Chains A and B, each alone.
Chain A
Amino acid sequence: EVQLVESGGGLVQPGGSLRLSCVASGFTFSDYWMSWVRQAPGKGLDWVGNIKPDGSGKNYVDSVKGRFTISRDNAKKSLYLQINSLRAEDTAVYYCARGSQWLLDPWGQGTLVTVSS
């Protein structure tokens, strides 16, 4: 069974940093693009970005460029999202998902990031 388990969320002050992790199982992790999508409380879904199978290429939406960094460790079957200079508007559940914008499935259960003083 394909599983994605996120962790690393929590309460952080504005301007702070956080590193989210997503551990994959049930499929050959190194064969797949991986993506991050976020959802603010009570709101819709927003793309963050994605990363190629070998980590050689990454794409970000403009609103997170320069502050968010996606990386992966294929040996550990893990995907990461480093978030810096956190703002209140970054408060959201962050989901990792297998695949790219062309084929995205499945999603993890998400990890909540709350930015507040």
Chain B
Amino acid sequence: DVVMTQSPLSLPVTLGQPASLSCRSSQSLVYSDGNTYLTWFHQRPGQSPRRLIYKVSNRDSGVPDRFSGSGSGTDFTLKISRVEAEDVGVYYCMQGTHWPPGFGQGTKLEI
């Protein structure tokens, strides 16, 4: 199975400052159709996960443009340009290229 490794596991941040979250896969996530199925989710305490970014860098409707995704192959990054209070919670990356799909352990963003 593909192993997804996120770092750091805990990320203390200051409001208004940038944040960078890393996600690495044990195999390339490029699918046979040419797409890379790497997704980022955000889960606030007591809530279900919400998708932020799909296929590495496509931001979902309603997601603030301070969130951006990048990367290729096995190395991916979620960046928050200026952290706001509502950004707290756990961020998960997920690979959907290989079966079984898998999530990283999560990065907990704390103010």
- List, in ascending order, chain B residues with CB within 8 A of A101's CB: 37, 94, 96, 99, 101
| Cα A101 to Cα B101 with chains together (Å) | 6
Tell whether A46 is near chain B: CB-to-CB under 8 Å.
yes
- Residues from 43 to 71 in B contacting A, C-beta threshold 8 Å: 47-51, 54-55, 60
Assess the B51–A105 pair: CB atoms within 8 A: yes
Interface residues on B, range: 20 to 34
Report the bound CA distance from A38 to B92 in whole Å: 14
| Residues of B close to A7: CB separation below 8 A | none
Look across to chain A and name the residue whose beta carbon is closest to the beta carbon of B99: A59
The reply to whether A44 and B37 contact each other, CB–CB distance below 8 Å, is: no
Q: Is the CB of B48 within 8 A of A103?
A: no
Q: Are B50 and A104 in contact (CB under 8 A)?
A: no
Q: Contacting A44 at CB < 8 Å: which of B96, B99, B101, B105? A: B105
* Contact call B54/A47, Cβ cutoff below 8 A: no
Contacts of B55 in A (CB 8 A): 103
CB of A106 within 8 A of chain B?
Answer: yes
User: At the interface, yes or no: A17 with Cβ under 8 Å from chain B?
Assistant: no
Q: Which residues from B are CB-within-8-Å of A110?
A: 48
Chain A residues near B101: list those with CB within 8 A: 47, 101
Closest to B37 in A: A102
Interface residues of A in 59-102 (CB under 8 A from B): 59, 61-62, 95, 100-102
Instruction: Contact check, B50 vs A44: say whether CB atoms are below 8 A apart.
Output: no
Chain B residues with Cβ below 8 Å from A104 are 39, 51, 94, 96
Whether A47 contacts B105 by the Cβ 8 Å rule is no
How many angstroms from the CA of A106 to the CA of B106 in the assembled complex?
Answer: 19
B99 close to A105 (CB less than 8 A): no
Q: Which residues of A contact B106 (CB under 8 A)?
A: 44-45
Complex Cα spacing A100 to B98, Å: 12
| A30 sits at the interface (CB 8 A) | no
Is there an interface contact between A45 and B94, defined as CB atoms closer than 8 Å? yes
B100 near A61 (CB under 8 angstroms)?
Answer: yes
Binary flags per residue of A23-65, CB closer than 8 Å to B gives 1, else 0: 0000000000000000000001111000000000001011000
User: How far, in Å, is A105 (CB) from chain B's closest CB?
Assistant: 4
Q: Does B8 contact A (CB under 8 A)?
A: no
- With CB as the reference atom, state the residue of chain A lying closest to B98: A101
